[in-house]
A and B are shown apart, each in its own frame.
Chain A
Amino acid sequence: MMPLRETLNQFTKDSRFVLVVLLLSLPLGYLVNQIGPQPLPLRPLPADQALVQNLGASSLPQDLSPTKIDIDWAMLELESGKALFVDARESSFFDLGHIPGAVNLPRSTFQQDYDKFQQRVPKDRLLIVYCSESSCVDSSVVAKALSRLGYSNVQIYQGGWEEWEAAELPREP
């Protein structure tokens, strides 16, 4: 058995040491971060701005509130064939079913996938971005990121895949 008093004394001393290390780790972490390969700003960037980091978004558009459209409008755009639907869900969900002709551009792999996307899709193409359901935020983040990268005609289909599927509208596969 350890003597209780000495043990508690030692534990208190160790805890003080840990507290000092904890406090020192803040400036140390900041310094190391600043000399690291991808330094973080002290305040986090908005999600869409973080997505376009290192992707050459040089002239940022002022208005970053893409138009939101409902299911009827989305269906009309699908029928007209002018719009390209962009599915911001993870690829595993995209593979299970998506709006016909949609391309998959998940938020999580945006930085890797964007290069291929921009080679295929002209900047003036009408893009309609959606994600899983009305409360998901990935469609908004991806739509704003695309606007920042120069896509001039980006809309958000707010109801998302859940609403589309429930309405039994065309799907792939």
Chain B
Amino acid sequence: MTPKARILFLIIGALRLLLAGIFGWAGIAKLITPQTFSEGVAAFQIFPSATINIIAMAVPALEIVAATLLLSPWWHRQGSLICVALSTAFIALFVWAGVHGISVSCSCFGSFAGVTSAQIGILRGAALLASSAFLYLHHLRSTVSAKG
């Protein structure tokens, strides 16, 4: 392995661990305080009230599944694609909140997070999106190269 490849290998490993940690922690924190997260989802004022608790149940499960897949040796590529989808959705929600002047407590980490401004939410989502997209593209390239 060349020094450049070794550095890339370390960066990819660190990113996988970091993203798995962030999404796993976020999912577990939301599971512990589902009511807080449900109120956070409702605060965006975009979802019909009948769907709010369903979203509040599904998102933490999805985050924990994504974290688990990221750590698995077989499905980490798909795990990073789930992180891309989640981060994109988070950014879209915060853009919506910013455009409509809604001050939100996103409850992204359950009760362990306070009120989040739309700008901070977008920046955080963008950092997650950049990291997970980089990871997915790297794994996608490796898979396609190996096949062909």
Q: B-side interface residues toward A, CB under 8 Å? A: 31-35, 38-39, 42, 49-50, 52-54, 56-62, 65-66, 69, 75, 77-78, 81-82, 85, 105, 136, 140-141, 143-145, 147-148
Contact = CB atoms under 8 A, between A and B. Distances in A.
Main secondary structure of the interface of B (DSSP, over half): helix
B25 to A, nearest CB: 16
A81 interface: no
A106 B33 CA distance: 19
Interface stretch (A33-41, A57-65, A159-167): A33-41
A2 B53 CA distance: 42
A21 B59 CA distance: 11
Contacts of A53: 35
Nearest to A19: B85
Given A17-B78, A32-B61, A44-B49, A38 B144 contact: no
Interface string A27-56: 011101100111111111000001001000
A69 interface: no
A43 B141 contact: no
A33 B57 contact: yes
Interface string A112-127: 0000000000000000
B31 A36 contact: yes
Interface of A: 2-3, 6-7, 10-11, 14-15, 17-18, 21-22, 24-26, 28-30, 32-33, 36-44, 50, 53, 108
A14 B78 contact: yes
Nearest to B105: A108
19 contacts: A3-B144, A3-B148, A6-B148, A7-B144, A10-B143, A14-B81, A17-B81, A21-B65, A21-B78, A26-B57, A30-B54, A30-B57, A32-B31, A32-B60, A33-B34, A40-B34, A42-B53, A43-B53, A44-B49
Contacts of B35: 38, 40, 50, 53
A24 B50 CA distance: 19
A41 B105 CA distance: 21
A154 B144 CA distance: 67
B140 A2 contact: yes
Closest 7 CB pairs of A and B: A29-B61, A29-B57, A25-B62, A29-B58, A25-B61, A28-B61, A33-B57
Contacts of A25: 58-59, 61-62, 65
Contacts of B66: 21
B111 to A, nearest CB: 11
Contact of A21 (B53, B82, B140): B82
Contacts of B58: 22, 25-26, 29
B81 A29 contact: no
B141 A44 contact: no
A11 B77 CA distance: 10
